[in-house]
Amino acid sequence: MKMDSRITVTSPLLPDLDEFHEMLKDIWASKWITNNGSFHKKLEAALAEYLKVPYISLFTNGTLPLLTALQALRITGEVITTPYSFVATTHAIWWNGCRPVFVDIDPATGNIDPDRIEAAITPRTTAILPVHVYGNPCDTKRIQMIADKYGLKVIYDAAHAFGVEVEGESLLNAGDLSTLSFHATKVFNTIEGGAMVMHDAEMKKRIDYLKNFGFANEVEVVGPGINSKMDEMRSAYGLLNLKQVDAAIEARRQVALRYREALKDVEGITFFQDLPGVRHNYSYFPIFVEADKYGMTRDELYFKMKEKGVLGRRYFYPLISSFSTYKGLPSAAKENLPQAHKMAESVICLPMHHGLNDEDISRVLEMIVE
């Protein structure tokens, strides 16, 4: 089958390395390479404006804001979450001495199913930790209604949701706190990095203390903090990447259009469509393989692609609930999570990047279509 080439994908420019070199010279001349330097402050301000959020705090990776969010809100007992995510989501709960409680997902989005949350609440429940999977927005209104009814905190793992908006409003403003990842694989990256979004200046101050050992000043430590500050070099790199992130998102959108056009009539292959009213960022492009219709299992297709140098990813497989640390939890039982298991056992995330060209995309599609 010949691939449709009507949609042309163009790549945005990479960050300007000459400008980055000048920034590095400025950092070196200032002799201030970490601890809330000028580029760190500039990036926080620029991100708050771009993301339409009131306050943001930068971290050195995407896991540490999850850990710190649970600490900042003094979460204890049980935390309701999803098994369909990257392991960092649940690890953060475990490291805080809390017990994760898994509930099933909505097959239409891959996100935690609000219909399942209320039934999982016990007297020990103190928080809900949903994930905006692949950048698809959770049903934040329903989740907040449940949280308000039972007096629970809501922390969103928004690692995939950079720049995602619903009806013009930043998705990151939902809940009590939202956390981001700026890993190199993300739409916006600082090579390694992350951030937390909060609603008020007092919470930002608390978070900024906690990520710097708890220091309030030279001689006063106000809490048992950790070291998770972002340095000046990654902050500078982030400022450059922010300049081209809109072009990157548009290029990814073009890749998604090309994938959808070519795969729409392939029996046994399904994928998500854009949700109405949502500004997506096209972080990932998952497809789902129905073996009985497609004529090949998900794993057969995955390894066929891999043998030919096309690196998809079974993301998220296996489920977090099946890992040794968590599989003994009552909520991890397979019969409790049928939709999550079905999605995990059928998914392949296709290559998705703003640097993909038409030839790259055609290579991916030819393997699936033919």
**What would the pLDDT profile of 133-181 be if each residue is shown by its tens digit?**
999 999 999 999 999 999 999 999 999 999 999 999 999 999 999 999 9
| 198 DSSP 8-state letter | E
What is the distance between the alpha carbons of residues 174 and 99, in angstroms, rounded to a whole number? 23
Residue 197 confidence class, pLDDT cut points 50, 70, 90: very high
Mean pLDDT of 201-212: 98
What is the distance between the alpha carbons of residues 7 and 358, in angstroms, rounded to a whole number? 9
What's the whole-number average pLDDT of the chain? 95
Q: Does residue 114 have a cis peptide bond before it, meaning omega lies within 30 degrees of 0?
A: no
* DSSP, residue by residue, 107-175: TTTSSB-HHHHHHH--TTEEEEE-B-GGGPPP-HHHHHHHHHHHT-EEEEE-TT-TT-EETTEEGGGSS
Residue 11 has pLDDT above 60, yes or no: no
Mean pLDDT of 266-294: 98
pLDDT at 16: 80
- In order of their start, the domains of the chain are 17-243 (3.40.640.10), 245-369 (3.90.1150.10)
Percent of the chain with pLDDT over 70: 96
Let me know: does 284 contact 162? Beta carbons within 8 Å. no
HSE of 316 in the Cβ direction (CA atoms, 13 Å)?
Answer: 22
Residue 285 has pLDDT above 90, yes or no: yes
Mean pLDDT of 29-39: 96
Mean pLDDT of 220-236: 96
Which helix H or strand E contains 80, and what residues bound it?
Answer: strand 78-81
Residue 8 has pLDDT above 50, yes or no: no
Count of Cβ atoms closer than 10 Å to residue 132 Cβ: 26
pLDDT at 14: 66
Question: Which distant-in-sequence residues (6+ apart) come within 8 Å of 79 by Cβ?
Answer: 70, 93, 98, 99, 100, 101, 125, 126, 127, 128, 129
